[in-house]
Amino acid sequence: MDSSSRIVQGLGRVVDDHIAWLSQWHQIAFYAGPARAAKAAELKAPTSFLQWHERAQETLASQQPVLERLCALHEQLHTSARLVLMRAPEDGNMPVEDYEKVLARFDEFVTSVRRLERAFSEAAAGLDPLTGLRTRVGLPEDFNRELSRFRNAGTPCVLVMVDLDRFKSVNDAHGHETGDKVLVAAGNTLLRHIRTYDDAYRMGGEEFLLMLKGLDPNAALPVLERLRAALARMDVRAPDGSLLRLTASLGFTAIRAGAALDELLAEADQALYRAKRDGRNRIVRA
């Protein structure tokens, strides 16, 4: 069994164990009565997550921010669940807002586990486990679909190369864990500033690709300007607490009949190179 399979298998057990744990929590919350506080102290978090987390730190050393967030959600869930039980009135019903708070924590934790599980289980189909963005694997099929739409209906589409400026200096000064935090923040920023039917890919390192559908170059330009500004506003903290500010350079081109994917990627890449050469933190059209 490879490392990805072990990660997926372990996460599946984490979810199953926490569903069973939630059932126990419900029994204490609604049926324990005066013994609620004592039973709350006895209710332990499932060990499967901590066991999985210990193994994952070795397997996923480059994805520490993802692990830290999942660990924090796990701690918040069980702390909240324990406190809600201990503070509930012995002879009355638990306040609805306290009950809903625990369920919200549970949903957030399980959703995050499922998201990571899906990223690894679908890795062969092209999901980057660090950022959750797609990878090159599915790009040719996606491109061919958009090229067909362009040929048949004239629907435009632009390809955008995005590269974080001076990213190497972050790794050199603050370490790869901080660099990974920057990449996660950049991926989240990209997803927030494109539409749900657009596609975002991590091409490798600090380089990303966007496929903006239904937009010609003129219509894409203000969208990219908002994205460039959003990337410049990202808040990522260094280990010493200082705020890191990065910018990004963008180069883009439009799909056209007769142009292959590699040709268009090379055009966008050349435009990106010109953006870097001309001072960075800017957008250049091929």
Confidence of residue 124 (pLDDT cuts 50, 70, 90): very low
pLDDT at 174 over 50: yes
Residues 5-53 pLDDT 10s: 677 778 888 999 999 999 989 888 888 777 887 888 888 899 999 999 8
The packing angle between helices 167-174 and 176-192, to 10°, is 140
Highest mean pLDDT among 59-73, 92-106, 152-166: 152-166
What is the pLDDT at residue 117? 80
| Burial classification of residue 89, based on how many CB atoms lie within 10 Å of its CB (0-12 exposed, 13-18 middle, 19 or more buried) | exposed
Q: List the one residue out of 177, 246, 255 whose CA is nearest residue 209.
A: 255
CA distance 111 to 9: 16
Q: Any idea which of 125-139, 182-196, 222-236 has the lowest mean pLDDT?
A: 125-139
**Strands (DSSP E) found in 31-155:** none
Q: What is the mean pLDDT of residues 228-248?
A: 92
Show the tokens assigned to 223. 């969208």
Could you tell me which residues are beta bridge partners of residue 210? 160, 200
CA distance 167 to 165: 5
What is the pLDDT at residue 246? 94
- Chain centroid to CA 178: 15
Residue 11 is which amino acid?
Answer: L
Domains and CATH numbers, the chain: 3-121 (no CATH), 136-285 (3.30.70.270)
Q: Which residues are catalytic?
A: 206
Percentage above 70 pLDDT, the chain: 93
**Strands (DSSP E) found in 155-279:** 157-164, 199-204, 207-213, 236-237, 243-244, 248-254
Q: How far is CA 278 from CA 100, 208, 250, in A?
A: 53, 20, 12
Average pLDDT for the chain: 89
